[in-house]
Structure 1
Amino acid sequence: MNLPNLLTLLRFALIPLYLALFFSELPGRIQWAFGVLLLAGLTDVIDGYLARKHRQVTQLGIMLDPLADKLMMLAVFLSLFLTNRIGIAAAIAIILRDVSMIVASAFFHFRGKKTVPANAMGKLTTVLYYVALFLLMFDHPVAGEFLWGVIIFSFLTSLIYLFQFKLLNEKTM
């Protein structure tokens, strides 16, 4: 187990910490929860950088890294839905996209297909989701509209990933 993969595993552990803080009665709970979310984002950046720099990119990391990200995002968006910060339509769109990507990735991984590593569009989508989360968690007036823009962009990014996945696996047949 290399350091980048350990950092990815740490992100899995940050999910229940985020939820515990978000739903706690602590003063500043939203700030603390957002801090945990930022820490998860920072570990994502660091593990990717270390994996590439030290040539420690593994198939396990390629699969676990986006899974950790998507599970964290699902937890965050579920918490926002349960506290009425986002509506049911946005929650369904986000959950549908992320669960579909998790299931498809696992399905194809276990069938021996190659998975597509993160690209610039995927990374931009993540950054935009973090901005949307900040706006939502701190009740900014344009949060809802911004979120829908990011949701649409994320679906376009998913279509690009599907196209890249198809091309990658056609070459290896």
Structure 2
Amino acid sequence: MATVPNVLSLLRLLGVPVFLWLILSPRLGGANRDGWALALLVAGGFSDYLDGKIARRFNQVSRVGQILDPAADRLYILSTLVGLTLRDIIPAWLAVGIVARDVLLALLYPLLRAHGYGPLPVHFLGKAATLNLLYAFPLLLLGDGDGRIATLAKIFGWAFVGWGTALYWWAGVLYALQVWQLIKADSVT
């Protein structure tokens, strides 16, 4: 339970409310905390990569980690979508589109449980989608300003959002197909 990857995922979870406070506080009249929010986003993205790498390299893969890591990813993505939407950095339709995929998949979990299955393992396409989104969000936050760096960050951020959202939905469709295949196979036996 207390493995390095699980601790990293837990720290990422604890960073979610801190990130929201940092990104929303400028709208509340506080000092500009975007730099800290950006640093926390980058650290969250890096720790997501690092926890998986450590888990595989040192054979620290655990059932807790298989649940905690994707949960931390989803909460980080959700909180970032909320923060960026409330700051008018991204349109609400984009946030709704990304969250809708997770809602759709959440509706499939009771079907899996009814057939005796737990959550499906995360596959490469889902990881690639999450990685693209975790690259996109800091870039979009950095792009919320003026100057060359902000302009470049915005361009690359939107490119990562496009790829990340497309891959996110593609992975969602593949997960839904896996659920359908499992249920179909159970009905045959």
Scaled by the length of structure 1, what TM-score is found? 0.81
- Counterpart secondary structure, 2:119: coil
**Runs of 5+ unmatched residues, structure 1:** none
Match of 1:93 in 2: 97
Out of 36-45 and 111-120, give the one that drifted further.
111-120
What is the CA RMSD across the aligned residues, in angstroms?
A: 2.6
Equivalent pair of 2:136/2:161 in contact (CA under 8 Å): yes
Out of 93-102 and 14-23, give the one that drifted further.
93-102
Deviations 1:55-113 (A, max 9, x none): 232222212211110111000011111111111211210121233334544x4675541
Pair 50,109 (structure 1): closer, same or farther in 2 beyond 3 Å: farther
The aligned runs of 1:8-157 (5 Å cut-off) are 8-24=9-25, 25-27=30-32, 29-102=33-106, 104-105=108-109, 107=110, 111=114, 112-139=116-143, 140=151, 141-142=154-155, 143-144=157-158, 147-157=161-171
Q: Counterpart amino acid of 1:26?
A: A
Select the structure of larger CA radius of gyration. 2
Q: Does 1:160 align with 2:165?
A: no
**Runs of 5+ unmatched residues, structure 2:** 144-150
Scaled by the length of structure 2, what TM-score is found? 0.75
Query: What is the total number of aligned residue pairs between the two structures?
Result: 170
